[in-house]
Amino acid sequence: MADVEVMHRQRVLSALLLVPPFLLLVHFGSPLHFALLVSLVIGLAAWEFSRLCPAGTDPGLSLLTVLGGLAWHAALALTGGVAGVAAAVVGAALLRATLLRAEFRVGLLQAAWIVLGTLYVGGLLSFASLLRALPEGRQVIYYLAFTTWAGDIGAFYVGSRYGRRPLAARISPKKTVEGALGGMIATMLVAIGGSVWIWPRFLWAPAAVVGLLLASVGILGDLCESAVKRAAGAKDSGALIPGHGGVLDRLDSLMFAGPVLYALVRIGWV
């Protein structure tokens, strides 16, 4: 319990330092300002991902992963086309594997990690900029952020106190079924409450249903990031955010929820 209390204090302090500036940027900033923030986050997350490569890492691998993620974001946000970026990243990764003095098998594994990092980090996080660029982008970002935060908080505290049954013991032994249910309930409550006070764009019933869907997808995102860390033998992706770990640890749920919400908006379900 002492470890939970320490992590609780760290989480609260981190939230007090990071959440208000984020909300101010969303409210008063333009889509361009928000896209610049997303670029910063992608750069940090891509660097963390590059350090988790099971085949080993080096500055060149990290640089290519960061540049690939940023290029993907720029192409998607500015032109909507990413085919050229994908080809360039694959080509650069394979060229690096060919020129490395290390065993060719290691070079190929690292090349695959660069491509995966570009798609995983740059590809998924870029949807946040697309959401903010929508006509009612502020409301959509508020909805995505608050429901995702609610799911993470509910899962953490319910799981810490009442968690008994492992959700996916092979991937993440500490995640429990009780925690997942707590996160879903918290998400639905925030989605319903927010439809009254924060995002009037959403009626309470659709907001709750979509919130439940995003919570479920967010759990998958959390498990996917845990699988990456398990492959690397790491507890956290980094140590930048006290109480949370790294940027990837904090955004793993949102990375999957963002593209799903964007798809729902584009097909007219939201």
Tens-digit pLDDT string for the chain (270 aa): 555 666 667 777 877 888 999 999 999 999 999 999 999 999 999 999 999 999 889 999 999 999 999 999 999 888 777 767 878 888 888 888 888 877 788 889 999 999 999 999 999 999 999 999 999 999 999 999 999 999 988 998 899 888 889 888 888 888 899 999 999 999 999 988 888 777 877 888 888 899 899 999 999 999 999 999 988 888 888 888 877 789 999 999 999 999 999 999 988 887
Report the helix count and the strand count for the chain, using DSSP H and E.
Answer: 10, 2
Distance, in Å, from the CA atom of 63 to the CA atom of 107, rounded to the nearest integer, reads 15
Q: Which pLDDT score is estimated for 13?
A: 82
Indicate yes or no: pTM above 0.75. Answer: yes
Domain ranges of the chain: 2-266
Q: Which pLDDT score is estimated for 59?
A: 92
**166-168/172-176 β-pairing:** antiparallel
DSSP H/E element including 166: strand 166-168
Distance, in Å, from the CA atom of 194 to the CA atom of 117, rounded to the nearest integer, reads 34
